[in-house]
Structure 1
Amino acid sequence: MLAQTHIKQQLDALRHSTVSGFVRLRVAVEVHSFLGWLAAQTLYPRIYWQARGPARPEYVALGRIHELTRPQDIQRVCDNTGVDSEDSPRYYGGLAFDPTQPGWPDFGPCRFVLPRIELVRRGECVSLCLNLWLPKRERATEFEAELLAAESALDLLQPEAPLPPLHKQDWQREDCPSHAQWQQLVAQVTAPEFQAHTPKVVLSRESRLGADDAQDDQTAISPWSLLAQWAQHAQECFHFGFQFSPQQSFISCSPERLYRREGRHLQTEALAGTIRRAGDDAIDQALAAELLADSKNRLENRLVHADILSRLAPLATRTSLTEPRILKLRLLQHLKCDIEADLKPGVCDWQLLDALHPTPAVGGAPRESALAFIREHEPYDRGWYAGACGMLSRETSEFSVAIRSALIQDGAIRLFAGAGIVAGSEPAAEWAELDNKIANVLSLLG
């Protein structure tokens, strides 16, 4: 590839320079499908990130220079992004829903990667980037080793290729918790004595899909093919995926932003309250009006935005909140309030993650008592489902809440969905909401 040759020329020029610290080399490149390019690569980790919104920047990250695997070490990420350079490093990764728990193998409670190689699309411009962290020039052996490691990674790059086809098949489905267990959990949360101290708990379900021939090369699911098709049906969402090893992948088309920080300006949101779409404009408008007027869903959203505002208060000089509006997705409609804030000087991403994650939209309110109930009673490990996934840098950081997500491993697909349980919640209606939330991806699988 000509792009690799041009970057290698820049790389060779570094041997005659005195530069040290973080360095990003880049060249323009032509790539049509980022996911097709990603699926063709052999370097791990393999990470994909596309933000929500009109500009929709798109990233692929490959390999690693450095990574962090403990939640408390995110402070070091914040420190490292403060280097005095035209380009600051971008870390891609996530926090589990409950970072105090061990989490999934490969993913753990926390994993952030500074990649060796990035593919970046902003508008019409696509760049191939090579990242280095160079020691001082007098440490000649280490300096040369870093250059050689970067060159080796470039040599492994493969040209873009078509994504493997996504074959529909028959799946055996098992829900955890079961329908009977779900009814019991909802009854516990809606009991008056429980509501007196914990007015909202977000209960969730894992739906495991298994197939006898899922290990067959002809029918095995490519996570990147699934994500590409899913994204076409979820244009209004964040699209992202993490594959730290060949054995398993986590992908998501999430409608929910945890936050976006540009300098000291913060955008976040309260996304809670759900109703279906019918595919008919008049019926959808009537359903949206019903959602806006529904006391149970308004309560659920109010608990979320009140908690977010209270958590931002010590970190911000100003906050603002919009009235609830309708966010229309392909099959669902949600209540959404937009929140903006101006952050106090010195506030960093670690403080924002600690304050905002997990939000009451995926955990409950008050946070600690809701999380205690989930830890004790939910019969599976959420892992990165409903976690905070995104990108950190000095200039801009953005995180999505990893709902509408799937874990692909061991010839099986695990789909996740949650529902906010408050006073007045009915088990059957909430169970149906869980089904509605996985219907989009299920329609692609079989």
Structure 2
Amino acid sequence: MYSIHPIEALKQQLDALSDSAQKGFIRLSTPCQVGNLMGWLNVQSVYPRLYWQSREAGAVEYAALGAVKAFGSLAALQADLATLADLGGEQPDYFGGMAFDTNTPGWQHFPGCHFLLPRIELRRQQTGVTLSLNLRFDDRCPEAEIAQARSCLAALEAEQPLPHLLPHIYQREDRPSQQEWAASVVQITNPDHLAHTPKVVLSRETYLTTSETPSPWALLARWQAGAADCFHFGVQLTPHEAFIGCPPEQLYKREGRHLTTEALAGTTRRGRDAQQDQGLANELLADKKNSLENQCVYQQLLTQLEPLSSHFHMGEAHIVKLRSVQHIRRLIHAELRSDVSDQQLLSVLPPTPAVGGVPRESALAFIRHHERHRRGWYAGVFGRISHTSSDLSVAIRCAHIGPEAIRLYAGAGIVAGSQPGEEWRELDTKIADIMSLLGMG
């Protein structure tokens, strides 16, 4: 046990700040003991509530509360990054996301772009858990900033066990229906359409209504336990809605000037045993339709990265094995030009060809015209940005949770050779993990 309670330790550090003029960003930190970060998040009354963990083994686990500052545009976020970098000292992490298509109406409480500098951060690293309080003094009244920080600290609650996932009865509706889906696949694979748009990623919203939805943090914790080698995220901007996910796909990771991204496209199921599993993987790598789908993605990424990079390198195609599916993946490494920012990368890279299509604009035009559901942040971006490094996922394998409904999303790349029935079954495979947690698998 610690000799002083972590919240009291932060209050004492905050008292020491009051007597001197402060400037820029300050993070006050103290060690603490928390067993389950999502169990801690679930009982807090402060919003927004946010969770993030990258997919690398041993990655830092973040839980965040409140907002010192929030940003509704990439330009505003980049300006704040630059301001604090010029001041020097410790640099903050910003968390948030973007919609799939910021030019169309999205979800009601999820803006097209929303990143925030959290007030409270809980971080678990291999060395232990740290509780931090973030403050900004450059453009606000110091007394008001300290008062807001005190108020947030006073509202913190102790961690409690997550509630059990109780069985619920769900009514399911797929949007589009399988018949409507088949008609769209036929239209995309028509030779005349393929001539100008060789790939469109069609999505489906599976709408599950119930009298009461489960705790999003309890659901995410259970989902995370079976989703190794994936990113894990959750966000509640308001008490009534949550967006959670365990996506396998990285938009990009930036360490200084070095950038890593990937072409993750082409899918098959997992086998019943190791021999069948490997056979399915070999068939996937050899399959012309799936290879074409992956090729569309990496060629587009290379085209987008070329003007931003001094040089880049693409790896060989290999298989990524997840719990229910296998994908073809190619890694791309690039050295960015010295003037390239996260704002430029996020203005250029998403939506990737793996979730939109090729060419981007004609694929998006088809999606806007034919998809009746709103993708919102599904297939958008979610992750962490800082001055020195950034780590962002493509927000697939996700769920939007409201008070009376859960909306699940899945997509499939439609290219020459796509068959409507096979692509529809692929959608079911992609939501199989979350459906089984809800008792519908």
Q: Does the TM-score normalized on the shorter chain lie above 0.5?
A: yes
Residue 193 of structure 1 corresponds to 192
The CA deviation string for residues 136-165 of structure 1, in whole angstroms up to 9 with x for no partner, is 8xx8xx211111110110000101100011
**Are 1:46 and 2:49 an aligned pair?**
yes
Query: In structure 1, what is the equivalent of residue 151 of structure 2?
Result: 152
Equivalent AA in structure 2 for residue 103 of structure 1: G
Equivalences for 1:78-97 in 2 at 5 Å? 78-97=81-100
- Counterpart of 1:170? 169
Q: Which amino acid aligns with 2:151?
A: S
**Aligned-partner Cα distance in 2 for 1:274–1:374:** 21
Structure 2 residue aligned with 1:65, among 63, 68, 87?
68
Q: Is the 8 A contact 2:230 2:248 kept in 1?
A: yes
> Where does residue 271 of structure 1 map in the other structure?
264
Question: What amino acid maps onto 2:169 in structure 1?
Answer: D
In 2, Cα distance between equivalents of 1:226 and 1:165: 9
> Are the aligned partners of 2:247 and 2:396 in contact in 1 as well (CA < 8 Å)?
yes
Shift of 1:77: 4.2
Give me the identity figure in percent: 52
Alignment check: 8 A CA contact 2:242 2:400 kept:
yes
Further displaced range: 393-402 or 71-80: 71-80
Corresponding residue for residue 409 of structure 2:
416
Query: For residues 72 and 99 of structure 1, what CA distance do their matches in structure 2 show?
Result: 14
What is the match of residue 127 of structure 1? 130
1:151 is paired with a residue of what secondary structure?
helix
Aligned equivalents of 1:285, 1:4: Cα separation in 2: 51
**Whole-angstrom distance in 2 between the partners of 1:181 and 1:71:** 36
| Count of residues in correspondence between the two structures | 436
The answer to whether the Cα contact below 8 Å between 2:200 and 2:358 also exists between their aligned partners in 1 is yes
- Give the letter for the 2:85 counterpart: G
> CA contact under 8 A between 2:72 and 2:113: conserved in structure 1?
yes
Q: Conserved in 1, the CA contact under 8 Å of 2:52 and 2:63?
A: yes
Q: How far apart are 1:79 and its partner, in Å?
A: 2.5
Query: How big is each residue's C-alpha offset from its partner over 1:167-218, in whole Å with a ceiling of 9 and x where there is no partner?
Result: 122211000011111011101110101100100000000000112x32xxxx
CA separation of 1:77 and 1:365: change in aligned 2, threshold 3 A: farther
Please give the TM-score of this superposition, normalised by the length of structure 1: 0.96
Distance 1:81 1:49, change over 3 A: farther
* Higher deviation after alignment, 86-95 or 360-369: 86-95
Matched residue, 2:119: 116
2:324 matched residue in structure 1: 331
Which residue in the other structure is 1:208 paired with? 207
Q: 2: CA distance between counterparts of 1:28 and 1:85?
A: 25
Q: Match of 1:103?
A: 106
**Alignment pair present for 1:373 and 2:373:** no
Unaligned runs of 5+ in 1: 215-219
Q: Distance in 2 between matches of 1:11 and 1:410?
A: 38
Identify if the C-alpha distance between structure 1 residues 394 and 303 changes in structure 2 by more than 3 Å, giving closer, same or farther. same
Does structure 2 retain, via aligned residues, the 8 Å contact 1:71–1:109? no
1:12 deviates by 0.9
* Whole-angstrom distance in 1 between the partners of 2:299 and 2:336: 18
Equivalent residue, structure 2, for 1:217 = none
In the aligned structure 2, how far is the partner of 1:199 from the partner of 1:50?
34
Partner residue in 2 for 1:21:
24
Amino acid at match of 2:142: F
Match of 1:236 among 229, 232, 238: 229
Say if 2:293 and 2:415, in contact at 8 Å, map to a contact too. Answer: yes
Give, in angstroms, the shift of residue 354 of structure 1: 1.1
What aligned pairs does 1:372-391 form with structure 2 within 5 A after superposition?
372-391=365-384
Who is 2:215 aligned against? 222
Query: Letter of the aligned partner of 1:226 in structure 2?
Result: L
Deviation at 1:80, TM superposition (A): 4.0
* Per-residue CA distance 1:342-363 (angstroms, 9 max, x = gap): 1100211011111110100000
Give the drift of 1:101: 2.0
Provide the rounded CA distance (Å) in 2 between the counterparts of 1:61 and 1:81.
20
Whether the 8 Å contact between 2:316 and 2:330 is mirrored in structure 1 is: yes
How far apart, in 2, do the equivalents of 1:189 and 1:82 lie? Answer: 47
AA paired with 1:257? Answer: Q
| Distance in 2 separating the partners of 1:135 and 1:8 | 21
- Structure 1 stretch displaced more, 118-127 or 190-199: 118-127
Task: Tell me the equivalent position of 1:301.
Answer: 294
| SS of alignment partner, residue 113 of structure 1 | strand
Correspondent of 1:316 among 309, 313, 323: 309
Partner residue of 2:33?
30
